[in-house]
Amino acid sequence: MYPIAVDAMGGDFGPEVIIDGAVAAARECAIPVRLVGDADRLMAALRERGGPGGLVEIVPATDAIGMDEAPKAALKRPESSIRVAIADVAAGRSAAVFSAGNTGATVMAAHATLGMLKSVDRPALAATVPTRGHLAVLLDVGANARCRASHLVQFAEMGAVFARISLGIASPRVGLLSIGEEETKGNELTRETHRLLKAAALTFVGNIEARDVYAGAADVIVCDGFTGNIALKVSEGLAEMIGHALADGLQREAPAIAHDVFERLRQEVDYSEYGAAPLLGVAGLVLIGHGRSSAKAVRRAIQMAHRFASAGLLARLQHDIAVSGDTHR
Amino acid sequence: MYPIAVDAMGGDFGPEVIIDGAVAAARECAIPVRLVGDADRLMAALRERGGPGGLVEIVPATDAIGMDEAPKAALKRPESSIRVAIADVAAGRSAAVFSAGNTGATVMAAHATLGMLKSVDRPALAATVPTRGHLAVLLDVGANARCRASHLVQFAEMGAVFARISLGIASPRVGLLSIGEEETKGNELTRETHRLLKAAALTFVGNIEARDVYAGAADVIVCDGFTGNIALKVSEGLAEMIGHALADGLQREAPAIAHDVFERLRQEVDYSEYGAAPLLGVAGLVLIGHGRSSAKAVRRAIQMAHRFASAGLLARLQHDIAVSGDTHR
């Protein structure tokens, strides 16, 4: 059945948008959803939408961590919606959790409550990005601002397993995001990571310059969470600017097709369309969405969580990482 | 007169493209150009283009540093075109130098030959990027992979002077590129830099998330050279991918306007259109172009160099930084 716990209090737009997405996932995709948050508010919102229906349950949480609060707030507030939602997974009542709330708080709560997979030191947030012709995985996009080379190697291993399962790429090419293709370019972290990746049991294609990410130079692109977050968010901002410029230009010259072209472009580059980024490495399925997730993005994220749960992502991740660890540790 | 020394041997496409751009700058904009490189080859290429004309001179250099060579090669090879071109500036024969060659080598050669401005420890490469409504300055985009907080403060000061002179912004808003708006977000470098920037004599608007760079949240965006290079290059790659997707889409639905819209979009986001990025902080005017610079980009870069030389960018930079240094050091 794979019920999905949804942090109904997370996100920039309030619970209603999250509830809309959750209700759509339950009604249209028959996925059981456990909505976590202020029970009265959630019940009222569900009634406005024609009642909870058989597939939506409410899990009460009396507290909620704001988008701008320090991540460590999650450690001190067990009644917060994100903590209760993650506890629901830890207790086996939900198969996965989705939150569009405070990313740092979700990472800390997941790490503290669920613990880590064996042989993994740090979790990594894995974004799925469009490239020319296919999708690729970029990680870490924000779970760890500071990483060691050994962490990046683990991210590469997890990213490769994830690309196999999620994108169906049998032998994913792993690239290291850096500022030059040559092994000697970059900073201390990339140079040391390059050395370790060459020795790892992975299809390592070397350093990838940022301009080649979208050209499809690798299926898995590895970097520290500061760099990955910058790369992902600068892309979002640029896509948005281009979208506006384009809409203006087309509106003047061909209003009839402006909408279609813009919509296709938006789907091609808008990350929220892909739903959510899994937090790989923690011993439970955790998906983190954009704070600005729309109801549609929430629905997709829940579908994605359900798909990962039924595909046994977690067990495969643990198995493949243990095997990979045995071959070269 | 402000002659511009041009490293004719730098760039991905060989001297011909550089020469085309240089000849255009001389003929169309009446800018004196001193082409540095293999004299026979340059003379032959100039003859094919109808002779050197009165404004194009050749400065012979018998060596050239390849795009993929280690930057420190520049220190050992005084006869290389980039070294000879920079020496031309040091000797006062040229007012500025432009190269589309090996960026690292150019930075090292400039630093070693010209020295630094007073109160500046490290040079920074300053890219001009389009944002919604106006242009902004992003620095460092690749001169220093590793920086200290005090370097970033100097970059902010230089960026502000540059924005005043180049973009005509009287009181540029300075932002620090990070992964969260809150002061506490980011990494050690951004937290320390944030603290220092708050105390500096600048219009500091705080941390800027990468997605807000293109929304125009600041006029000067400061970061280390690794991060800035990633941000700039990921943008180039994404713009290119969108351009292709768009061209395909429009071609199917409205071939007549596809070209126009695509061309406008390209101009809006293609950095090579802006010509080149000045290397701020060295005691001489040095502009660095994209390796893939087209002849048009080379012409624009030379115009830009000429404009900076006639505006007295270097003297103003030195003056304003000394003043700024006096107020808070």
Local confidence pLDDT in tens for the 329 residues of chain B:
899 999 999 989 889 999 999 999 999 999 999 999 999 999 999 999 988 788 999 999 999 999 989 899 999 999 999 999 999 999 999 999 999 999 999 999 999 999 999 999 999 999 998 888 789 999 999 999 989 999 999 999 999 999 999 999 999 999 999 998 777 788 999 999 999 999 999 999 999 999 999 999 999 999 999 999 999 999 988 888 877 777 776 666 665 566 666 666 666 556 556 679 999 999 999 999 988 889 999 999 999 999 999 999 999 999 988 776 655 44
Q: Residue ranges of the alpha helices (H) in B207-312? A: 225-253, 255-269, 295-310
Q: For residue B70, which residues of chain A lie inside 8 Å, CB to CB?
A: 184
Residue of A nearest to B233 (CA): A211
Residue of B nearest to A230 (CA): B210
Contact between chains at A188 and B146 (C-beta distance less than 8 A): yes
Contact between chains at B241 and A146 (C-beta distance less than 8 A): no
Strand partners, A207: A176
How close B75 comes to chain A (CA, Å)? 17
Distance CA A238, CA A222 (A): 21
Contact between chains at B179 and A233 (C-beta distance less than 8 A): yes
Contact between chains at B265 and A245 (C-beta distance less than 8 A): yes
Q: Which residue out of B129, B181, B235, B272 would a mutagenesis test of the A interface target, given it has the greatest number of A Cβ atoms within 10 Å?
A: B235
Distance CA B200, CA B284 (A): 25
Least Cα distance to B229 among B139, B145, B143, B141 occurs for B141
Residue of A nearest to B211 (CA): A237
Other C-beta atoms closer than 10 Å to the C-beta of A234 total 28
Phi and psi torsions of B122, nearest 5°: -135, 145
Q: Which residue out of A222, A242, A260 would a mutagenesis test of the B interface target, given it has the greatest number of B Cβ atoms within 10 Å?
A: A242
Q: Is A13 helix (H, G, I), strand (E, B) or coil?
A: coil
Other C-beta atoms closer than 10 Å to the C-beta of B150 total 13
Q: Is the dihedral of CA A209, A211, A217, A220 positive or negative?
A: positive
For A175, A228, B95, B179, the CA distances from A146, given in Å and listed in that order, are: 19, 11, 42, 12
Q: For residue B264, which residues of chain A lie inside 8 Å, CB to CB?
A: 245, 249
Distance CA A221, CA B208 (A): 24
How close B53 comes to chain A (CA, Å)? 38
Q: Residue ranges of the alpha helices (H) in A64-211? A: 73-76, 81-90, 103-114, 149-167, 188-199
* CA–CA–CA angle B198, B199, B203 (5° rounding): 55
Over range A314-319, report the average pLDDT.
93
Report residue B147 CA to chain centroid gap: 18
Other C-beta atoms closer than 10 Å to the C-beta of B262 total 19
Contact between chains at A226 and B132 (C-beta distance less than 8 A): no
How close A203 comes to chain B (CA, Å)? 23
**Count of all residues that appear for chain A in the document:** 329
**pLDDT for residue B35:** 97
* Residue B266 in tokens: 């390209």
Other C-beta atoms closer than 10 Å to the C-beta of B86 total 28
How close A136 comes to chain B (CA, Å)? 13
How close B58 comes to chain A (CA, Å)? 32
Distance CA B134, CA B172 (A): 12
Q: For residue B130, which residues of chain A lie inside 8 Å, CB to CB?
A: 241
Q: Is A101 helix (H, G, I), strand (E, B) or coil?
A: coil
Residue of A nearest to B248 (CA): A261
> Do residues A10 and A101 touch, judged by C-beta distance below 8 A?
yes
Distance CA B26, CA A32 (A): 71
| Secondary structure E strands in A140-245 | 173-178, 203-209, 220-222
Other C-beta atoms closer than 10 Å to the C-beta of A76 total 9
